[in-house]
Structure 1
Amino acid sequence: MFAPASSSSLSPARPRRGFTLLEVMVVGVLLAVLAAIAVPRLTGNTRRSFDLAADQVADLLLMYAQRDAFGAKPIGLMKNERGWLMLVQLDIDASDERSGDWRIDPFVPPVKFPDEVDLSSVVVTADGQRLDIIGQPLSHTPGEDRPSVQVFMQSRDREYQTTIDLAPHALAPVRSDRRTGTPRRVAVDLDAAGRSREDW
């Protein structure tokens, strides 16, 4: 007699199933989209961090100008040992007006430069003279003539550079960016090139 066949032996054996071409294509497209999103964010991180630091320096110089125009206490720009750029005010001792301590302005946060900024490149000048303001501020008393203040900084890879200028009587600084990889424009004299009658 024949034994009844088990249900498992009646079903045909299925071969191991792999990925179909459609599934592989969908995964490939998803990976390409994720890479297109992630790569610009990773490569643009240096530029964003550098721009943020430059904006913070511009804000600091803006507050320096505002304190100069509307404040009463002597003010100054100073760096600490870590390279932070700070706005400081002179707290004058009531008993001795000639002495006092420089204290960080509590309403203006110091600029803490990110790793993308080369700290050795952060240069502060007053009327064109480079100053060492670590521990000793570039000080100014409101009501007196303020020097022209300029802060230059560049990224560690030397690709991005910016200069932030505060003119003597300006209430806001002017920022000038330069990218070393971009070519400079060349002036062309149309008359000398024989193109004096061409529209431009």
Structure 2
Amino acid sequence: MPSARHPDTLKPPPRGFTLMEVMVVLVLIGIITSMAVIGFGGGRADSLQEESRRLAVLMQLASEEAILTARPLGLRFDEEGYRFLQYEEQRWRVLEEDPQLRPRALPEFLRLELLLEGQSAEPAGLLAQGEEDEDRLLPEILFMETGELTPFELLIRAEEVEDHYRISGDINGVLDLQSRGE
């Protein structure tokens, strides 16, 4: 005897995805994309902004530390980055052990242009075939114990990025960071 089929058994099997399945896949794609962006970072423009802000904050810290310790500090730039110096025992020494004011390297694609009294000052670089001459190590920017500093403008640029940053300081110790489009 033929069995009577129930109307639900005559339906074809469902095809495609439910709305819930599509939503779950979209959420997963969003999470994976977010992780990829965080992992790769924002690129050169973000690095330019981060390094410019870091340098401005460290310069402010050096200025305040010079006042608090009643000893002048200095800042010296070279092709690879920058170093803070402290005047002690009649000479300038690199602050190697200071956790904040330690020497810092810049990413290879960042370029610094220092202007002192409106004139371009080339980075001093290393002396005597890669060996530092401690007796001739001089800062390009001074942070005095009185709060004064060497007036300067520092332009920070990144290769393949239109914007640049400008840190300026006046003799009264006022530091300013500005972002500029080219």
* 1:173 counterpart letter in structure 2: L
Kept after mapping to 1: 8 A contact 2:141/2:149: no
Higher strand share: 2
TM-score normalised to structure 2 length: 0.63
For structure 2, the 5+ residue unaligned runs are 1-12, 127-137
Which residue of structure 2 lines up, in the alignment, with residue 125 of structure 1? 115
Kept after mapping to 1: 8 A contact 2:63/2:73: no
Which residue of structure 2 lines up, in the alignment, with residue 73 of structure 1? 71
TM-score normalised to structure 1 length: 0.59
Distance 1:47 1:147 in 2: 28
Q: Percent identity?
A: 14
Distance 2:76 2:48 in 1: 20
Using CA pairs below 8 Å that are at least 6 residues apart, which structure has the higher relative contact order? 2
Deviation, structure 1 residue 24: 6.8
For structure 1, the 5+ residue unaligned runs are 1-16, 181-200
Kept after mapping to 2: 8 A contact 1:89/1:104: yes
Which residue of structure 1 lines up, in the alignment, with residue 4 of structure 2? none
1:154-193 to structure 2, matched below 5 A, reads 154-170=157-173, 172-180=174-182
Which residue of structure 1 lines up, in the alignment, with residue 133 of structure 2? none
> Compared with structure 1, are the counterparts of its residues 142 and 127 closer, same or farther at alpha carbon in structure 2 (3 Å cutoff)?
farther
Deviation, structure 1 residue 167: 1.5
RMSD: 3.4
